[in-house]
Structure 1
Amino acid sequence: MKKEIDELLRRKENAKLGGGEEKIKRLHDGGFYTARERIDKLVDKDTFLEFGMLAHSDQVGSEDKSAGDGIITGLAKVDGRPVVVMAIDKTVFAGTAGMIHARKAQEIHRYALKRGLPLFRLSEGGGLRMPDGMGSDGISQSLFPEEMLLHRRQVPMMTAILGDSFGDPAWVAVSSDFISQKKGTAMAVAGPRILEMATGEKVSNEELGGWELHAHITGQSDHFSETEDESIEELKRFFSYMPLNETEEPPFKPSNDDPYRRLDEIVDLVPSRRAQVYDMKKVIKSIVDDGEYFEIRALYGPALLTVLARINGRVVGIIANQPMKYGGSKGPHEADKATEFICLCDSYHIPMIFLHDTPGFRVSRDAEKYKMPTKILQWNQALAQSTVPKISVVIRKSIGAAYANMCGPTMGADFVVAWPGAEINFTGPEVGVNVVYGRKLKESDNPEEERARLLETWEFDSSPYKAAAKYLLEDIIDPRDTRRFLSQTLEFACVKNGSKSKRQLANWPTQF
């Protein structure tokens, strides 16, 4: 069989060159890796098992210049765990998708769902290839595939946008659980050239779908990197907190960090004066194992933090107000961010911890334009339907409807506790006194003295001791015991079913 084997090896060596050595050189000269080099960066050494290497375009005349039809697919291991990998090859027809390209992607996606294997996608490209998609027959074969639309978070899906991504790569990205976008790339429905031809509008790639747009306005990407290496590493970091599939809990990671460690430093981190800001990230770092956490969407809705971390070895999702931004008040972007994170955690059996320090929602005309009532209620609906263990800690204040959205009483928390100086009320003292006692203050002979007296009364009513007295809070805890309390309660909350949920939010959208 030597002749046949030699022919096979020749064909496979040619296929590894994709669109040819000249196009590979062009990529390298532009500072980009090839698709195969990206896969090597992602997976454990010598674990990649490729399928479809000998496939090519079914368009007559394109057979010899379409190795793999522009996509590399296969199985591998990432940090010792089995996964499915897809990488678009830009050296073949600029990474556009032909019919065989689509078939390869669909088949490997189906296999991932069938065998419970997480999906990694290393993406770029110009979407549907014109010759393949033209005509009623072409477009009829090019509609959204069922496995993508009915994915239902059965396995984690992670995408890196490593080059300009229009059409199909954008659809895939926004269907993913996590997106890392390299700065300098764009992600949009169509490229500037098509936009100009269709509407006459002239825009740059950056204006159309650059990283700053997605970081601050759309929230469609979760992380932004300077290099391809960084993007790929971020996918691996996110994956380290994920289960392989819907049937498993996230991986437990033993730590030498004492779960009952006393947080003496936390007393100095959080000022008692309500108007004084502090960095909630420092509080989170103090609480979690080894001070390690992974923040998602750091630049979008910055008054709310969404973080993956571990406590006593168990993966947790933390939703925390950030007083350094808008005083911790929440707007429409924060609401979308929270809803999506709750869906992620509940779908992948990640217990949630809520750290309150918020004066409420940001009320404004602009917020109403963004459908603020809908977004607040949608957040509440997601929270009410989530069934993973939930523990809520009021750090300094939790005011108005925001108290519910941060998993206050009646929202399904296993435990709701507060620190001793916490403020819980319908509204903050200054606003409340002005609204309720405004006329009385105007008629007072000494309004400032009267205001001080009313504020003192209001603050007493806001004390957590009143709620604790009626057993509306499980306890008021010493701030220094916060890590201990969370470690203990997580252990008890996960006795019966581990951290597994009913996955009622698995079919909710991946983007809001």
Structure 2
Amino acid sequence: MAIEKSLLEQLKERRDQRLVGGGKERIAKIHAKGSITARERFDGLFDDGTFQEWGLHVEHNCHDFGMEKKFMPGDGVITGVGQVDGRPVAGFSQDFTVGGGALGQRHSQKICDVMDYAANCGLPFVAINDSGGARIQEGVDALSGYGQVFYRNVELSGLVPQIAVIAGSCAGGAAYSPALMDFLIMTRKNASMFICGPQVIKAATGVDTTMDEIGSAAANAAISGNVHFVAEDDQHALELVQELLSYLPSNNLDNPPHHPIEDISMVPDTSIDDLVPADAKGALDMEAVIQRIVDDGRFLQVHLEFAKNILVGFARIDGVVVGIIANQPMVKAGTIDIDASDKASRFIRFCNAFNIPLVTLVDVPGFLPGVQQEQGGIIRHGAKMLFAYCAATVPKITVITRKAYGGAYLAMCSRDMRADVVFAWPTAEIAVMGAEGAINVLYRRELEAAEDKQAKRAELVKEYHDRFASPYMAASRGMITDIIQPSMTRASISLALRNTLRKSETRPPKKHGLIPL
């Protein structure tokens, strides 16, 4: 029997009514700010024609304060599943044109439903946040809704990748769901993320501040480290999501999307040799080294603006996806401080959870000395790196380029941290401490007795290096797999990766380790 025309017309009318969200006037206001709507964000994220919406006809569940008279299509959030580069991805996009995107009971239920689906089907999850916070009229039900979302964020953690986009307001408790996710992308304009705004801080503490200081993309990316990527606008944010997903598996049981080439080139790249400063005290630009090692020089840096003395990010080496951790001697001489420890540890643990091999490039003089660092807990924070590397069971390839001193040498995935392969350049120095400090301990009397102290110091530095810090000394004790020319770094890493991709390592059964948080 043919469907009655009136039913089809009713369906079309209802769909059209809901697809415009809060109406054309509110959409126009969004566009006037230089932003795009919740639906346009999903249109830009997913492959054309692949989005299947969940809960288009859901409406709010509040009948207080005149809310029963308000039409709130979708209860202020769009949820569903689409494809990104042919791979299914689940997510939600909050609709600020509908009740300010505020979260209520059914709003949160829609989010939870699609999160459960992502968990059951092993799909990455993308959350586009643009909300005025909890819906006051729904009281504790709204708070319960946040709790339900937080619980699922933790359930999904380590199971599927979670990416949050902060495209508008994200205040108070709403900020904790993104904080529980793996990567946060925030637009430079029209977005904010904070727990207490300037007025609340002023009332509680008497301190005057601005939104730029506490809640802007710049503050969250460079100072607090809450945000991993800053996007220039909504479209750029969506492109970052797509690029990030291109390096990640769909879930913890899948391998990353490797595209290994058939033949590995063993031709030396002499341009890397040129990057090494002639003066051993000169700073090596590790970012330039990375660009020579990875395919097409493409390195997707994570936490670009935060703790710049260490670099982390994703790349491919001859088609194999890797996570790279590298000291950056151009900043703070490459020392490891509190923020660098946190940045590296979190990235290492993510890569391990999702089967991404780790490549570590070492040029580290030690942990950053100072009263502030000691009182701030550098011991506890530095221990996170040791824990993260030791707990990682993915392939681990380490290259010691120059300095590798003291505990920082261990923290950068030495052989003792179960690195599978450790290469060293001839310029490497592996020791308890640097030569200048060590000779004051080992050779103090000889130095004091010398007539030409400068010449004697130079002689002793060389002796110390040859006896205690030479890469050949470390290699003779089995701590170095091989000493390679810098020009062979890319080829050596690539070959080592191919040889370790099938690595399978188990650990003693336990609920979980206790990382020093």
Contact 1:156 1:245 in 2 (8 A): yes
Aligned to 1:155: 160
Q: How many angstroms apart in 2 are the aligned matches of 1:279 and 1:263?
A: 17
Aligned to 1:478: 485
1:132 maps onto 2:138 in alignment: yes
Q: How many angstroms apart in 1 are the aligned matches of 2:510 and 2:13?
A: 49
Of 30, 40, 45, which residue of structure 2 is paired with 1:42?
Answer: 45
Contact 2:135 2:142 in 1 (8 A): no
Q: How many angstroms apart in 1 are the aligned matches of 2:265 and 2:187?
A: 37
Aligned to 1:300: 306
Q: 1:103 to 1:430 in 2, by over 3 A?
A: same
Shift in Å, 1:85 = 2.1
Which region of structure 1 is more displaced relative to structure 2, 38-47 or 286-295?
286-295
Aligned to 1:31: 34
Which region of structure 1 is more displaced relative to structure 2, 17-26 or 331-340?
17-26
Of 197, 205, 209, which residue of structure 2 is paired with 1:203?
Answer: 209
Shift in Å, 1:237 = 0.7
1:273 maps onto 2:273 in alignment: no
Aligned to 1:424: 430
1:219 maps onto 2:225 in alignment: yes
Q: How many angstroms apart in 2 are the aligned matches of 1:393 and 1:276?
A: 19
Q: In the TM superposition, what whole-angstrom CA distance separates every residue of 1:97-148 from its partner, at most 9, and x where no partner exists? A: 01111110111101100110111111121221111125xx664555354212
- Residue type matched to 2:5 in 1? K
- Residue type matched to 2:184 in 1? I
1:66 maps onto 2:72 in alignment: yes
1:490 maps onto 2:493 in alignment: no
Contact 1:357 1:395 in 2 (8 A): yes
Aligned to 1:167: 172
Q: In the TM superposition, what whole-angstrom CA distance separates every residue of 1:382-434 from its partner, at most 9, and x where no partner exists? A: 11111001011111121111110111121010011211121111111112223
Aligned to 1:110: 116
Q: How many angstroms apart in 2 are the aligned matches of 1:248 and 1:176?
A: 19
Q: How many residues align?
A: 508
Contact 1:220 1:511 in 2 (8 A): no
Q: How many angstroms apart in 2 are the aligned matches of 1:338 and 1:165?
A: 26
Contact 1:339 1:379 in 2 (8 A): yes
Which region of structure 1 is more displaced relative to structure 2, 295-304 or 60-69?
60-69
Aligned to 1:55: 58
The percent identity for this pair of structures is: 34
Which region of structure 1 is more displaced relative to structure 2, 445-454 or 211-220?
445-454
Q: Secondary structure at the match of 1:271?
A: coil
1:82 maps onto 2:88 in alignment: yes
Q: Secondary structure at the match of 1:320?
A: strand
Aligned to 2:184: 179
Q: In the TM superposition, what whole-angstrom CA distance separates every residue of 1:182-208 from its partner, at most 9, and x where no partner exists? A: 113221124445555666655332222
Q: 1:473 to 1:139 in 2, by over 3 A?
A: closer
Shift in Å, 1:504 = 9.9
- Residue type matched to 2:75 in 1? D
Matches within 5 A, 1:366-405: 366-405=372-411
Q: 1:149 to 1:14 in 2, by over 3 A?
A: same
Q: In the TM superposition, what whole-angstrom CA distance separates every residue of 1:357-406 from its partner, at most 9, and x where no partner exists? A: 11111111111132100011111011111100101111112111111011
- Residue type matched to 1:285 in 2? Q
Q: Secondary structure at the match of 1:378?
A: helix
1:188 maps onto 2:201 in alignment: no
When the two chains are superposed, the root-mean-square deviation of aligned CA atoms in Å is: 2.5
1:339 maps onto 2:345 in alignment: yes
Q: In the TM superposition, what whole-angstrom CA distance separates every residue of 1:330-379 from its partner, at most 9, and x where no partner exists? A: 11111001100111110010010111111111111111132100011111
Q: Secondary structure at the match of 1:265?
A: helix
Q: How many angstroms apart in 1 are the aligned matches of 2:5 and 2:217?
A: 52
TM-score calculated relative to the size of structure 1: 0.93
1:143 maps onto 2:140 in alignment: no
Shift in Å, 1:271 = 1.8
Contact 2:188 2:232 in 1 (8 A): yes
Which region of structure 1 is more displaced relative to structure 2, 477-486 or 309-318?
477-486
Q: 1:85 to 1:139 in 2, by over 3 A?
A: closer
Q: Secondary structure at the match of 1:393?
A: strand
- Residue type matched to 1:400 in 2? G
Q: How many angstroms apart in 1 are the aligned matches of 2:506 and 2:193?
A: 33
Q: 1:261 to 1:175 in 2, by over 3 A?
A: farther
Q: How many angstroms apart in 2 are the aligned matches of 1:503 and 1:52?
A: 44
Q: How many angstroms apart in 2 are the aligned matches of 1:388 and 1:379?
A: 15
- Residue type matched to 1:249 in 2? N
Matches within 5 A, 1:239-258: 239-254=245-260, 258=264
Q: Secondary structure at the match of 2:156?
A: coil
Q: How many angstroms apart in 2 are the aligned matches of 1:200 and 1:365?
A: 28
Aligned to 2:324: 318
Q: How many angstroms apart in 1 are the aligned matches of 2:62 and 2:89?
A: 31
Q: Secondary structure at the match of 1:252?
A: coil
Contact 1:259 1:311 in 2 (8 A): no
Q: How many angstroms apart in 2 are the aligned matches of 1:285 and 1:413?
A: 23
- Residue type matched to 2:183 in 1? F
Contact 1:116 1:155 in 2 (8 A): yes
Q: How many angstroms apart in 2 are the aligned matches of 1:196 and 1:291?
A: 47
Which region of structure 1 is more displaced relative to structure 2, 446-455 or 304-313?
446-455
Contact 1:257 1:289 in 2 (8 A): no
Q: How many angstroms apart in 1 are the aligned matches of 2:400 and 2:276?
A: 12
Shift in Å, 1:225 = 1.7
- Residue type matched to 1:289 in 2? D
Q: How many angstroms apart in 1 are the aligned matches of 2:62 and 2:415?
A: 61
Q: How many angstroms apart in 1 are the aligned matches of 2:158 and 2:391?
A: 16
Q: In the TM superposition, what whole-angstrom CA distance separates every residue of 1:44-73 from its partner, at most 9, and x where no partner exists? A: 001111011111111124354311111100
Contact 1:42 1:236 in 2 (8 A): yes
Which region of structure 1 is more displaced relative to structure 2, 59-68 or 118-127?
59-68
Q: How many angstroms apart in 1 are the aligned matches of 2:513 and 2:152?
A: 15
